[in-house]
């Protein structure tokens, strides 16, 4: 649905669809969506603010929030609405409207946080700020900034006190013009009250997000851009000494969102045995069954690693030579990137993993291939494999894997290489046909919960602990296997 097809589909959304779309959203999503859609229109924002307050106090589920927006912008409402739904992550609503999330994400959610197509960029950044703050941090912001707004403005107070919905307070301050968005390029914006509070409370990442949005959207240097740049430089100066020594003390390497790297996913669901005669001897002894549930793993990995700034490249049902080709290509394109992560989701046997054509590759050969490239010298290289590692049955010989002629010249090339296997050698890797595999699911959960505080090796220790405690319906169990030559603590990039 990329390109023109996406635009064509946008035009098929009918106003009657909005009634059902709104029913699919909870109150928090409605608050976020109204903030993004109405925040730059003071007259409508005042009305919507009152509607939200009534809904918050009466648990009113039926409303006309989206219908009103569509009628107020008859020419552009579809594009604004779909982008805003993407920003709040309303996937259920977007699916109901017939969209594919991955295509929308690529179109509307660039890695540069402060860039938008239709929604005001500062509204997007302010919404992200609200999502990133804890309840206690939100409470301090609404009390501190709210007190300053009240001292500067006449009129009735908001009389709403739940900091869980911080966007409602921001909408109120926008209608009172205590904070200003400026035009679509953020020229004429005034967010000094917010930035001042964020800096004072050591919320430098959020302050930087707001000032970076102003800078990146300014068509050319102006007063607003100059002021924002000054704030940004001051924030960076304030934190240079506080952050760098902490990282230096533990010898850590912190990957960046801007240059995180490629996350390559080889997702094998279906297998065949149609190969040329000269390699038939390498085929698996028995036909390989379809791997139901692997697409759940793939989609979860795409979501998690995209949120950390990785360029995710996912391929389905790749033969053994295709695996080699795609890994080599990712290695060659990693010169200016911080790391490379390779996932292979497939069948396998001890120390080997299958291509979709039922021909196996040695895992050690894949590891050597990653370590042989100068483009990845001393950079973190992660090889993560979800595949059984059972020994061949005694009555049936397992064919040899394809011989990949790849070597490294010195042990030093293997520095900062991590291999994480779903299971120790000799055992099966367990996978639910609807929920996905135990290992990949636990890995994604651990990154979700701990990537902001734990380094990669410790995250995988958490995964090993969680997976080893699981039990199947017939008391099945599994223990992942992690080997690392990391010489320092390595932290994933901050999540979006």
| Residues belonging to the active site | 347, 388
First CA to last CA distance, the chain = 24
String of DSSP letters for 93-139: HHHHTT--HHHHHHHH--SSTT--SSS-HHHHHHHHHHHHS-HHHHH
Helix (H, G, I), strand (E, B) or coil at 201: coil
C-alpha 221/C-alpha 463 separation (Å) is: 48
For 252, other C-beta atoms within 10 Å of its C-beta total: 13
Of 70, 84, 119, 99, the residue nearest 7 (C-alpha): 99
For residue 344, the surrounding DSSP H or E stretch is strand 339-345
C-alpha 414/C-alpha 185 separation (Å) is: 47
For 396, other C-beta atoms within 10 Å of its C-beta total: 9
Greatest Cα-to-Cα distance within the chain, rounded to the nearest angstrom? 87
Alpha carbon of 148 to those of 99, 154, 236, 342: distances in Å?
Answer: 43, 12, 26, 50
Helix (H, G, I), strand (E, B) or coil at 368: helix
C-alpha 249/C-alpha 12 separation (Å) is: 57
Q: What is the CA radius of gyration of the chain?
A: 26
**Which residues of 203-359 form beta strands (DSSP E)?**
253-254, 261-267, 311-316, 339-345, 348-349, 352-354
Cα dihedral 404, 410, 414, 415 in deg (nearest 10):
-170
Task: Tell me which DSSP letter residue 449 carries.
Answer: H
**Residue where the block lists tokens 């080893």:** 468
C-alpha 106/C-alpha 268 separation (Å) is: 23
């Amino acid at each position: 649905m990329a390109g023109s097809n996406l635009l064509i589909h946008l035009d098929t959304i009918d106003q009657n669809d909005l009634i059902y779309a709104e029913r699919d959203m909870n109150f928090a999503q409605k608050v976020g969506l109204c903030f993004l859609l109405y925040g730059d229109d003071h007259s409508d924002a005042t009305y919507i603010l009152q509607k939200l307050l009534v809904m918050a106090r009466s648990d009113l589920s039926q409303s006309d929030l989206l219908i009103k927006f569509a009628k107020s912008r008859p020419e552009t409402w579809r594009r604004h609405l779909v982008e805003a739904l993407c920003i709040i992550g309303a996937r259920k609503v977007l699916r109901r409207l017939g969209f594919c999330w991955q295509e929308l994400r690529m179109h509307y959610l660039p890695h540069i946080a402060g860039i938008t197509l239709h929604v005001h960029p500062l509204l997007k950044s302010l919404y992200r700020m609200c999502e990133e703050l804890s309840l206690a941090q939100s409470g301090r912001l609404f009390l501190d900034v709210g007190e300053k707004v009240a001292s500067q403005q006449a009129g009735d107070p908001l009389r709403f006190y739940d900091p869980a919905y911080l966007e409602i307070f921001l909408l109120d301050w926008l209608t009172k013009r205590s904070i200003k968005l400026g035009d679509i390029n953020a020229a004429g914006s005034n967010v000094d009250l917010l930035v001042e509070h964020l800096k004072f409370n050591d919320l430098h990442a959020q302050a930087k997000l707001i000032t970076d949005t102003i800078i990146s959207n300014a068509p050319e240097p102006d007063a607003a851009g100059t002021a924002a740049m000054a704030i940004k430089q001051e924030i960076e100066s304030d934190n240079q000494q506080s952050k760098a020594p902490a990282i230096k003390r533990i010898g850590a390497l912190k990957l960046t969102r801007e240059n995180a790297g490629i996350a390559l996913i080889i997702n094998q669901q279906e297998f065949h045995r149609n190969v040329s005669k000269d390699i038939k001897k390498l085929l698996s002894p028995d036909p390989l069954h379809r791997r139901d549930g692997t697409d759940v793993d793939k989609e979860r990995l795409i979501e998690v690693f995209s949120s950390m700034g990785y360029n995710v490249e996912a391929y389905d049902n790749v033969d053994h030579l295709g695996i080699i080709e795609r890994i080599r290509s990712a290695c060659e394109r990693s010169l200016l990137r911080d790391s490379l992560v390779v996932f292979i989701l497939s069948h396998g046997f001890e120390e080997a993993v299958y291509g979709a054509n039922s021909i196996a590759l040695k895992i050690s050969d894949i590891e050597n291939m990653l370590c042989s490239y100068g483009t990845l010298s001393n950079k973190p290289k992660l090889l993560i494999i979800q595949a059984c590692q059972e020994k061949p049955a005694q009555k049936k010989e397992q064919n040899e894997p394809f011989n990949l002629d790849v070597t490294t010249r010195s042990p030093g090339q293997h520095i900062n290489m991590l291999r994480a296997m779903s299971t120790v050698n000799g055992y099966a890797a367990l996978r639910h046909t609807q929920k996905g595999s135990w290992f990949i699911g636990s890995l994604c959960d651990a990154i979700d919960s701990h990537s902001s505080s734990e380094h990669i090796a410790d995250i995988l220790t958490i995964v090993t602990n969680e997976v080893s405690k699981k039990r199947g319906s017939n008391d099945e169990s599994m223990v992942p296997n992690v080997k690392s030559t990391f010489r320092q603590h390595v932290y994933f990039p901050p999540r979006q």
